[in-house]
Amino acid sequence: FFRPVIRELYLVRAWDGKGIIHPDKSPEYLRHLLAPLLSEYQQVSSVLLADSHGHEFMLLRKNSRWLNRVTKRDQWKNKVLWYEWSSGQPPVQRWQQSDYDPRTRPWYKGALKRYRANRVSSPAKPGRENIYWTKPYIFHTTRQPGLTASIAYDMGNGVKRVVGVDILLSEITRFTAALKLGTNGKVAVMTDDLKMIGLPRSRQSAGGAVHSELLKTPAQLKDPLIHDAFVAFTKARRKKPSYSGPFRFKSSAKVWIGEFRHFRLSPQHSLWIAAMAPEDDYIGGLWRLRIWIIVVTVLVMAIAIFRAFMLAKGYSRPIGILVKQSERISRGMLYEGEKIDSSITEVERLAEAHEKMRVALTSLLRLERDVQLARQIQQNTFPTDLPQLKGFELGAWSQPADETGGDTYDVISYVRCPEEGRVLITDQDPECAVLLMADATGHGIGPALSASEVRAMLRMAVRNGQDLATMARHINEQLCQDLHAGRFITCWLGVLDSSDFSLTSFSAGQAPLLYYSAADRQCRVIPADTYPLGITSELSVQIAPPLQLAPGDLFVVISDGILEAVNAANEQFGQQRVIDILQRHSQQSCSQILFELRQALLTFTGDVSATDDRTLVLIKRT
């Protein structure tokens, strides 16, 4: 029940870290991204995203309607903006006077407190302990009881951000009421202070009756079974404080078996899971069952001894043949061996499995050759010699995590042909160059095909003389048709112009981009312009003004396989190390800078294998 909640929380936090979402994005855009998550996980009623400026976006599912609350305390003061969507209807917008401030809510304050505590005790240790779980409380909007899981993090610019998801206690009850323990068993869930948040199926009611029974103690619930189980458990703990495990108790003239188990949500928050079932469900007719077991066991042993004696004669020869064939296969000789005929079913199946193994190994060797060929084809798509563009020096490097990778890069140099309305791709005295770096989700043959598709579409677009915005839109539209759900490609496109030494750049989810200015020896981090390609056909393509590169300036596009590379201590290589290398070696050539960065990465990771593809494109103004 809780694992999808944690996954959803970290997914939204990862999207925010990639720049895909933040509270100031348009409500329609955020609803488009987040509504599928709420539809997938019914136990989550709403998603909240807030920051330390008092900005908040909330998406709430309410039956067949969707509600958005947008809060900006530093701008709108005591006003909040509501949007309401109904099926097939345009959103209805309304303003409301409210003193609501997300920064005062328990889920926001608790997540920040947990974030600060973890920064002091274990700043480099991610995991479930970073999540803050509130105690059950009444939600501000729906006035229904529930609890909230939230996580806080720093956006790197001094702004603290908190992501939270709400869980209705009625959904926990829906979950526990559907559980069936044996024939007549029941399950309930309580908080650490023994208040009911998940009712058993005998207590499930319709409408408001469920809410009236939530957050009561076993005694207040007036359910004799839960009350008697709790009393029996308390007595067992009184005799032995460390007691855990099943216990017997009586309720309504019947003997039951129960167990109270601690379930830890986080180091500070736990729940109690109570399971109860009638003893008759498990041990009814026990003596009769024991007699039958003894009789059947004696008969089976007698038959087994006789059968084993008879079968031993038929096993020796075929087993010997299989042993010889196994020794031959272990030496790499995979030709078909002597056929084994046996009346024993087990021997026949073993021989069939042995032959399937031989055929599979043969196919595996062919597949290995195919994978090596795929790697060679992919490596051949990378430019062997980068073009010489007047006023610029270029460098690039890519290393897949598997035999083939999901990263690709390309440099396409050309001269303009205005009279023909197109461009001529050439490496001889080019005027401009289009650069690409793309990263498909995952690594292996599938992502490699997707990355190669982007490269092929880009080269066709350049030949047709398309501008940067048109290229991006057309590539995105095609990827939306080709990629499966959940797949996307981060992509950076750049156009170098030697006539004015400018770089026009567009990034779809590929971040960060690093721009080093030689004049002030500072490195500026540039975020992505929009979310990755292949997610939605309604891609916002807005090209920023070109960068005018001065002599000595550097522009670096780097994949997350380099930034997220870890060493034996699980520490990431990180963005700052890349920036330090650029500042120290900015006077050197592109090839020397690439060499220094690769050496630093190799020294940092040591013997730890790469888990993601690593790619880098470097531009230097000479």
Q: Distance between CA 151 and CA 19 in Å, rounded?
A: 17
The mean pLDDT of 400-404, rounded to a whole number, is 76
pLDDT at residue 151, as a whole number? 94
Confidence at 124, pLDDT banded by 50, 70, 90: very low
Encoded amino acid at 219, one letter? A
Q: Which helix (H) or strand (E) holds 36?
A: helix 27-40
The mean pLDDT of 499-520, rounded to a whole number, is 95
Instruction: Classify burial at 71, counting beta carbons within 10 Å of its beta carbon; exposed 0-12, middle 13-18, buried 19 or more.
Output: buried
Q: Are 373 and 344 in contact (CB under 8 A)?
A: no
> Which pair of tokens denotes residue 61?
């599912």
Strands 489-497 and 522-526, bridge-based pairing: unpaired
- Geometric angle at alpha carbon 42, from 37 and 45, rounded to 5°: 80
- Give phi and psi for 365, each to the nearest 5: -65, -40
Residue with tokens 């109860």: 276
3-state secondary structure at position 572 = strand
pLDDT at residue 471, as a whole number? 93
pLDDT at residue 80, as a whole number? 94
pLDDT at residue 192, as a whole number? 87
pLDDT at residue 205, as a whole number? 47
- Which residues, 6 or more positions from 364, have their beta carbon under 8 angstroms from its beta carbon? none
Q: Which of 47-56, 147-156, 275-284 has the lowest mean pLDDT?
A: 275-284
Is the dihedral angle over the CA atoms 219, 220, 224, 230 positive or is it negative?
Answer: negative
H helices of 240-285, in order, are 280-283
Q: Are 448 and 405 in contact (CB under 8 A)?
A: yes
Confidence at 373, pLDDT banded by 50, 70, 90: low
pLDDT at residue 260, as a whole number? 92
State the pTM of this model. Answer: 0.46
pLDDT at residue 123, as a whole number? 43
pLDDT at residue 72, as a whole number? 94
Mean pLDDT, rounded, of the chain: 86
**pLDDT tens digits along 186-224:** 999 999 888 889 988 765 544 446 677 888 888 887 788
Measured from the Cβ of residue 190, the count of other Cβ atoms closer than 10 Å reads 21
**pLDDT tens digits along 291-307:** 889 999 999 999 988 88
pLDDT at residue 611, as a whole number? 86
Could you say which DSSP state residue 530 is in?
B
Q: Distance between CA 278 and CA 184 in Å, rounded?
A: 7
The mean pLDDT of 489-502, rounded to a whole number, is 95
> Which pair of tokens denotes residue 20?
């895909």
**pLDDT tens digits along 217-272:** 888 877 888 889 989 998 888 888 888 889 999 998 889 999 999 888 887 788 99
Q: At what angle do helices 286-330 and 345-381 cross, to 10 degrees?
A: 60
Residue with tokens 């992505």: 528
| Max CA pair span of the chain | 99
**pLDDT tens digits along 299-328:** 999 998 888 777 676 666 777 777 777 777
Q: Distance between CA 22 and CA 28 in Å, rounded?
A: 13
Confidence at 510, pLDDT banded by 50, 70, 90: very high
> Which pair of tokens denotes residue 198?
């998940």
Checking if the pLDDT of 512 tops 90, the result is yes
**pLDDT tens digits along 331-354:** 667 777 777 777 677 777 777 777
